[in-house]
Amino acid sequence: MQRTVVVAGGGISGLAACYHLAQSSSAPRIILLEGSSRLGGWLQSTRTEDGAVFEHGPRGIRPVGSVGKNTLNMLSELGLESEILPVPGDHSASKNRYLYVNKALHKLPSGISGLLRTIHPFSKPLIWCGLRDFTAQRGTQPDETVHEFVARRLGKEVADIAIDSLCRGVFAGDCQRLSLRSCFPMLYEAERKRRSVILGMVLAGGEKSHFDSALIRRAKKERWSQWSLRSGMEILPEALEEFLRGQGVQIHRDTPLRQLERTADNRWKITLPGGSIVADHLISAVPAKVLSQLLPRSEEPLAKELCQIEAVSVGVVNLQYDGMVLPVKGFGHLVPSFEDSILLGIVYDSVAFPDQNHRGAPSTRLTVMMGGAWFEEGIGNPDKVSQDQLLRRASEAVMSHLGICGAPTRAIVKLHKACIPQYTLGHWKRTENIFKYLKEQMLPLSVVGASYEGVSVNDCIFSARNAVEKLFQWPQ
């Protein structure tokens, strides 16, 4: 009899899991259950009638490594190649990233010459940090915070300014709480394998992956730093949905899982708003905390680990202005927490992706991101914060950081609650315990998504692919 696999959560991880299941030669009956009225999770775009695109979630996807190449292959297979908007290596959005420190923008150094000179806000040439890295002792702990690691190897100033900002620009998180081992596994490995982390990273970058295609070769030749999609990132879940429907996958929106029970024959009875269904296997692509609340009492040890994986909220404000009003050209700027803990950074979308500007007169599109690990202390309870409050804060930042004083011609405010999981100290042990429990207890359950082994869109898609591959290897 054909087995039934239920996928919980229709974000990019759940859709990718269905995609890989449907592609398998022995595809099971696949049912996707999404709690909300739309698919895509945090991939959310607004497309206006005049042709402008505003991203409320991810916009820039990196093409590098196995995870980046795997996503490019998926785009090719879905027929989305003509939608790709690459940012080539020589583009200003690839070369220029800024920090806002001491009330001024500072371009981060790029290239060797930038490392030899003293560049504000740093007090000495960054080459000194490289030399320090060669002499630093190897860490002895199984994990340490990102800040501790970088302060030990590259110095406190780099940790306080550059790494603090980087963690805000990727995890919206606090580098004094985030785990080096889980957030930057390549740095962790580099320290274990080589004397110098910088050398380890350079050598790891040259490692070969088995993925190859014309698109991958093009991305390499043109040195894409990242890519986006012309009609907005939301076109990816839309294309996946169309593909999955064509493959006979049953997709149910507005169908949140309420409860999970184990049956006597090691299957799941899944309680839904209007009844229940039985699955031979469940792929969970919902946040870890959500899964922890669905599990039966018998799986308490698993639920305990899952519920410790917290996520932070981010206020996302998209603004559009008439004319080209930016004082600098680049990807955007980040703000270290000591400068302003609430304001994480501003993306200059119209620089990286000018094809998404509206038709007609030139314009500037910006995205202001706020809150993250500092949301509650700096802005308040995410359930009570008003859109006006976020818009006011974003407009003030645009004025003081970029000198843009006029009123925006368009503003869209979103509050994404618990949108970026935080891999805090000891996350590696929690995930190890989770995967060990699933294996030892032979639970018919796989967990995928941003809660576990990488928050980027690439990581989510790759985690889904790995889970499906493992599923077909397991003795049933």
Closest contact distance (angstroms) between CB of 415 and ligand FAD is 11
Can you point out the beta strands (E) in 61-125? 84-87, 97-101, 104-107
Q: Which of 9, 345, 371, 444 binds ligand FAD (CB under 6 A)?
A: 9
Closest contact distance (angstroms) between CB of 59 and ligand FAD is 5
The angle subtended at Cα 425 by Cα 422 and Cα 431, nearest 5°, is: 70
The angle subtended at Cα 270 by Cα 267 and Cα 271, nearest 5°, is: 150
The whole-angstrom separation of Cα 113 and Cα 125 is: 10
With CB under 6 A as the contact rule, which of the stretches 51-59, 194-202, 354-362, 403-411 interacts with ligand FAD?
A: 51-59
Closest CB to ligand FAD among residues 56, 153: 56
Q: How many residues at the interface with ligand LM7OVKF4, by CB under 6 A?
A: 21
x/- binding map, residues 240-259, to ligand FAD, per CB under 6 A?
A: ----------------xx--
Residue ranges of alpha helices (H) inside 276-379 are 288-294, 300-306, 349-352, 375-378
Residue 366's SS3 state is: strand
Closest CB to ligand FAD among residues 14, 28: 14
Closest CB to ligand FAD among residues 99, 368: 368
* DSSP class of 163: I
Closest contact distance (angstroms) between CB of 43 and ligand FAD is 6
Closest contact distance (angstroms) between CB of 55 and ligand LM7OVKF4 is 10
How many C-beta atoms lie closer than 10 Å to residue 144's C-beta?
18
Q: Which of 80, 172, 236, 390 binds ligand LM7OVKF4 (CB under 6 A)?
A: 172
Per CB under 6 A, 166 contacts ligand LM7OVKF4: yes
The whole-angstrom separation of Cα 290 and Cα 286 is: 6
H-helix or E-strand containing 314? Answer: strand 311-322
Q: Which of 32, 53, 108, 460 binds ligand FAD (CB under 6 A)?
A: 460
Per CB under 6 A, 72 contacts ligand LM7OVKF4: no
Q: Which of 161, 175, 314, 415 binds ligand FAD (CB under 6 A)?
A: 314
**Quick one: what does residue 57 bind among ligand LM7OVKF4, ligand FAD, none, with the CB cut-off 5 to 8 Å set by partner type?**
ligand FAD
Closest CB to ligand LM7OVKF4 among residues 43, 434: 43
x/- binding map, residues 369-408, to ligand LM7OVKF4, per CB under 6 A?
A: x---------------------------------------
The whole-angstrom separation of Cα 289 and Cα 128 is: 43
Tokens describing residue 449: 């998504």
Peptide linkage before 336 cis (omega within 30 of 0)? no
* DSSP class of 159: I
Can you point out the beta strands (E) in 132-274? 226-229, 250-252, 259-262, 268-272
Q: How many residues at the interface with ligand FAD, by CB under 6 A?
A: 37
Residue 267's SS3 state is: coil
Per CB under 6 A, 283 contacts ligand LM7OVKF4: no
| Phi, psi (degrees; rounded to nearest 5) at 435 | -65, -35
Q: Which of 175, 236, 279, 346 binds ligand LM7OVKF4 (CB under 6 A)?
A: 346
Residue 103's SS3 state is: coil
Tokens describing residue 205: 């970058």
Contact of 4 with 29, CB cutoff 8 Å:
yes
Closest contact distance (angstroms) between CB of 189 and ligand LM7OVKF4 is 15
Position 254, amino acid: D
Closest CB to ligand LM7OVKF4 among residues 171, 243: 171
H-helix or E-strand containing 4? Answer: strand 4-8
Closest contact distance (angstroms) between CB of 422 and ligand LM7OVKF4 is 11
**Quick one: what does residue 33 bind among ligand FAD, ligand LM7OVKF4, none, with the CB cut-off 5 to 8 Å set by partner type?**
ligand FAD
Q: Which of 163, 180, 455, 468 binds ligand FAD (CB under 6 A)?
A: 455
Cα–Cα separations (whole angstroms), residue 155 to 2, 110, 165, 340, 443: 58, 19, 15, 22, 45
Residue 261's SS3 state is: strand
How many C-beta atoms lie closer than 10 Å to residue 64's C-beta?
15
Q: Which residues between 281 and 310 bind ligand FAD (CB under 6 A)?
A: 285-287, 290
Closest contact distance (angstroms) between CB of 325 and ligand FAD is 23
Residue ranges of alpha helices (H) inside 253-329 are 288-294, 300-306
Residues lying near ligand FAD in the complex (CB under 6 A): 8-14, 33-36, 41-43, 57-61, 256-257, 285-287, 290, 314, 316, 416, 419-420, 449-450, 455-458, 460
Residues lying near ligand LM7OVKF4 in the complex (CB under 6 A): 60, 62, 97, 166, 168-170, 172, 226, 331-334, 344-347, 369, 420, 455-456
